[in-house]
Chains A and B, each alone.
Chain A
Amino acid sequence: MWKRMFGPDLRREWYLIKMPEGPMKQYYRKPIPWPETDYRELEYLCIDLELTGLNPETDEILSVGFAPIVDQNVILSESAHYLVRPSGELPEDSVVVHGLTDDRLAEAEPLEDVLPHVLMALSGRVLFAHHAPIELGFLNVACERIYGYPLLTRAVDTLELEKRNRQQRNQPLDGGVLRLAKARESYNLPRYRAHNALVDAVASGELFLAQAAHKTAKGEKITLRELMFRNR
């Protein structure tokens, strides 16, 4: 109940007081990006997860890819890709989708060791992803489970943004136009054949750059709030 009354910024300050040292506290040391800031002044972290399914409570993260955006450039030198060792056996259908097999994943690090890298990269930055509820949901559950605290962040969802843009321009939403590959096509972005968490993270980062560039043709100020994912 009180979660709804206090915004993430106040809660972050409260967590900083009561939280023990660790990756989560490190994450909260930098303020959460303020929604009234011009979006160009902010840094972002595009994240993509590969999963065993879509339910954060029961499914598992198999890999994480991320790349930051600074000064409206995707910085590949700070990008990263991690495989995550699952706690159980992989359901067969997810193997088909990701091409990640038990053997490869068995050598990977457990989520406890991967998550700190993600939090460090995300600290002080806006999270974004194509269809962000998935990434937000899974990361939040992971943080709660491992550190006992939720992941407070501000996020941009390139899928939702695309949907809003299209609705504003009275363009149709059918034919899968909101899917990452299709959405990219309409901005003259290249078609990527390979799929892994990092390629998709970079792909959504590029999509965001394109969406933002098209929104700010006249160079006027646009706040993060205007681009932000509404659910938070």
Chain B
Amino acid sequence: MDIELIEIRDFLKVHHPFDLLPEEALETLPTTIEVRYARRGTVMFEPGDDNKFLWVVRTGAVETLDPDGNLLARLSEGECFGVRAILRGGVAVNRCEAIEDSLLYLLPVAEFDRLRKEYPQFAYFFAPMGGDRLRSAREHAEASTEDAIGLMSTKLSDMLKRDPVTIAPDVTIQQAAKAMSEKGVSCLLVTENEKLSGIVTDKDLRKRVVAEGLAYDTRLSQIMTFDPIHIDADEYLFDALLVMSRNNIRHLPVLDGEKVAGVVTTTNIVQKQTTSMVYLVGDIYKRNTVAGLKDVVKQVPNMVMNLVDGGATAHNIGHVVSTVTDAIATRLIQMAEEKLGPAPVPFAWIVVGSEARHEQTAISDQDNGLILDDTYDEAQHGDYFRELAKFVSDGLNECGYVYCPGDVMATNDKWRQPLVGWKNYFAKWIDAPEPEALMLSSIFFDMRSIYGDERLYAELRDFVLKKSTGNRIFLSFMAGNALTHQPPLGFFKNFVLIRGGEHDHTFDLKHNGVVPIIDLARTYSLDAGLTEVNTKDRLKAAVEKKIISKDGSDDLLDALEFISITRLRHQAQQIRNGEKADNFMAPENMSHFERNHLKDAFNVVKTMQSALATAYT
């Protein structure tokens, strides 16, 4: 008898997500449905009403409005509504109204639940909309390639299995050596009052004890390394590797807040499988010529492609590429110092923009500057820093990090200033937020010091945050600025495409995808006075400061990751095809699945943008 409802089955079969159901489920599905006709203007349910159905538009059109009357979605043939209410236990949160004469198919909740239970791919389409849906999509994608990227996805806190072997500083070195043998470890963390005060490794025992002929009753505190370089348990294994290769150490203590959580060793990492990109960074510090650095940089595009293929997250890729850029610049500054001698006054080399945010995904232009100590005297020290800036900037250019077209570089006198000069700039931008000031603000508020005297940068940062935090007037300008880039979603929840020209029928995944999220995060961060620069870190920290809701933040994080990784995959594909990588994506080149999730992601951004507009402007 079932096949007699062939019309309804055939209709559902070609509409997402029913197309994900197997044939046998589609056969019986129509017999569970109720059919309703709604004249234009009929309200299906209002906030607070009971909703016991998943509604599918067969013909006509339906609008979903939030309680304030804002249009949330316009649904046409084949689209579903009422899901949110079902997932909230059957109480409608929005108003649904027919805006055309509509024929509707109603799937009872019990049947809907049964299908979700039996067919995960179907369930997953309805996972609480937007954010969660993206999240599960991503987790699904990541899980399949987990092993290939253990380094990138393993948090230090997750991999430390044994309790750290610790010892007090006042034991003898013989007692320490005995402890190491007994516990079978190659290093000991020295603690006082549960706080890390030093580290001692078997290499220390060899070099500092045996080779020096020290007595066995020498106190451990005499040979240990004080205040060792360490890392936070929240970081990823990959970060630990970078720190180790950069500092040429083989043991890295891991702290959970103040508490000693464990230690990562090179052995751990080798076991966890090493990849070439880790050596890439180590390699940079061994190069002594610009040509040598250039050779290393050449490998970056390939590395990015491998990372994309390996299923690394866009967040991690941004981290890796930015770290490589940091290392190149750092090495160039070191080379400049070798050539020019030590700096006459303290300085901090700063990077701005995507590199500062740890979000660089390809070799791009350089954006940098120099903060000089206030004791700087132009007549006396001017030449030194001019030459330093020129050396580094030229070197970067040669390596492929071409000169910044907007001249945001340390070679520009304007961006090579003593601390007080920088403070004046920011003061002016914040007090008189004119269009140019806003443009510069959005560049320079994403700033990070990569070399030199960190305190100079910290002082500037604190000054800026003090001026901007809670500054409603300035924030409203920044918020307005953050709304200039909109996700490419139209009124009907369809993609708004670029028309004509070279990029006909595409949308821009950078300016209309990633940038709006970066701008949102920056605004929250300025409001909350956050020191974080990375967009993900900012969004997480903004939750703690109660600037945005946890849900809002999670949704944005997922949207950011989904849009970014889609962009990276698109670029990897272009490179593979021998084309030039760009940010322009054609919807017809995407799967149905990708299109839907991208719409979700854009929708999240849109929602958060309108929330921002309400809150700040």
A interface residue numbers (CB < 8 A to B):
65, 72-77, 79-82, 187-190, 192-194, 196-199, 202, 205-206, 209-210, 213-214, 217
Contacts and interface: CB of A to CB of B under 8 A. Distances in A.
Contact of A199 (B1, B7, B33, B106): B7
B5 A198 contact: yes
Contact of B103 (A77, A79, A80, A206): A206
A209 B30 CA distance: 18
Nearest to B77: A190
Nearest to A76: B33
Given A74-B34, A213-B38, 15 more contacts: A72-B36, A76-B5, A76-B8, A81-B1, A82-B1, A188-B59, A190-B7, A190-B59, A190-B103, A194-B7, A196-B4, A198-B4, A198-B5, A199-B5, A206-B103
Given A73-B34, A210-B37, A80 B58 contact: no
A194 B10 CA distance: 10
A231 to B, nearest CB: 26
B39 A214 contact: yes
Interface string B33-52: 11111110010000000000
Given A74-B35, A76-B31, A76-B33, A213 B1 contact: no
A76 B39 contact: no
Given A80-B1, A190-B103, A209 B7 contact: no
Nearest to A195: B7
A209 B37 contact: yes
A199 to B, nearest CB: 6
Contacts of A190: 7, 11, 58-59, 103
Interface centre among A74, A76, A199, A205 (most CB of B within 10 A): A76
Contact of A77 (B6, B8, B32): B32
Contact of B42 (A192, A199, A206, A213): A213
B454 interface: no
14 contacts: A65-B4, A72-B36, A76-B5, A76-B8, A76-B31, A77-B31, A79-B31, A81-B1, A187-B101, A190-B7, A199-B7, A206-B35, A210-B101, A214-B39
Contacts of B1: 80-82, 198
Given A189-B103, A194-B6, A199-B6, A209 B32 contact: no
B64 interface: no
Contacts of A209: 35-37
Interface in B9-43: 10-11, 30-39, 42
Nearest to A198: B4
B360 interface: no
B60 interface: yes
Contacts of A192: 7
A225 B5 CA distance: 31
A224 to B, nearest CB: 18
Contacts of A197: 4
Contacts of A187: 37, 101
A213 B101 CA distance: 10
A206 B34 CA distance: 11
Interface of B: 1, 4-8, 10-11, 30-39, 42, 58-60, 100-103, 106
Contacts of A72: 36-37
A147 B33 CA distance: 34
Contacts of B38: 213
A74 B5 CA distance: 13
Contacts of A188: 59-60, 100-103
Ranked nearest first, the 9 interchain pairs of A and B with the lowest CB-CB distance are: A209-B37, A74-B35, A81-B4, A198-B4, A73-B34, A188-B101, A213-B39, A210-B37, A192-B7
Nearest to A208: B37
A202 B105 CA distance: 12
Contacts of B11: 190
Contact of B5 (A79, A206, A213): A79
B7 A193 contact: yes
Nearest to B111: A77
Contacts of A213: 37-39, 42, 101
Contacts of B36: 72-74, 209
Contacts of B10: 194
A43 B106 CA distance: 18
B18 to A, nearest CB: 15
B39 A217 contact: yes
Nearest to A212: B37
Nearest to B106: A73
Interface centre among B1, B34, B58 (most CB of A within 10 A): B34
A187 B102 CA distance: 9
B1 to A, nearest CB: 5
A205 B33 CA distance: 14
Nearest to A210: B37
Contacts of B34: 73-77
A68 to B, nearest CB: 10
Contacts of B37: 72, 187, 189, 206, 209-210, 213
Contacts of A82: 1
A121 to B, nearest CB: 13
Nearest to A67: B35
Contacts of B33: 76-77
Contacts of B58: 190
A214 B42 CA distance: 11
A100 B6 CA distance: 16
A44 B32 CA distance: 18
Contacts of B4: 65, 81, 196-199
Interface centre among B4, B5, B38 (most CB of A within 10 A): B4
Given A76-B30, A76-B32, A190-B59, A202 B103 contact: no
A226 B16 CA distance: 41
Interface centre among B6, B34, B37, B101 (most CB of A within 10 A): B37
Contacts of A198: 1, 4-5
A196 B59 CA distance: 21
Contacts of A81: 1, 4
Nearest to A73: B34
A88 B60 CA distance: 45
Contacts of B106: 73
B485 to A, nearest CB: 38
Contacts of B30: 76
B28 to A, nearest CB: 10
A105 to B, nearest CB: 15
A197 B5 CA distance: 10
A144 B60 CA distance: 44
Nearest to A65: B4
Contacts of A65: 4
Nearest to B60: A188
A72 B36 CA distance: 7
A209 to B, nearest CB: 4
Nearest to B34: A73
A43 to B, nearest CB: 13
A189 B7 CA distance: 13
B492 to A, nearest CB: 18
A73 B52 CA distance: 14
A205 B35 contact: yes
A67 to B, nearest CB: 8
A77 B5 CA distance: 11
Interface centre among B58, B59, B100 (most CB of A within 10 A): B59
Interface centre among A189, A193, A197 (most CB of B within 10 A): A189
A71 to B, nearest CB: 9
Nearest to B7: A192
Interface centre among B5, B6, B30, B100 (most CB of A within 10 A): B5
B507 to A, nearest CB: 32
Nearest to B58: A190
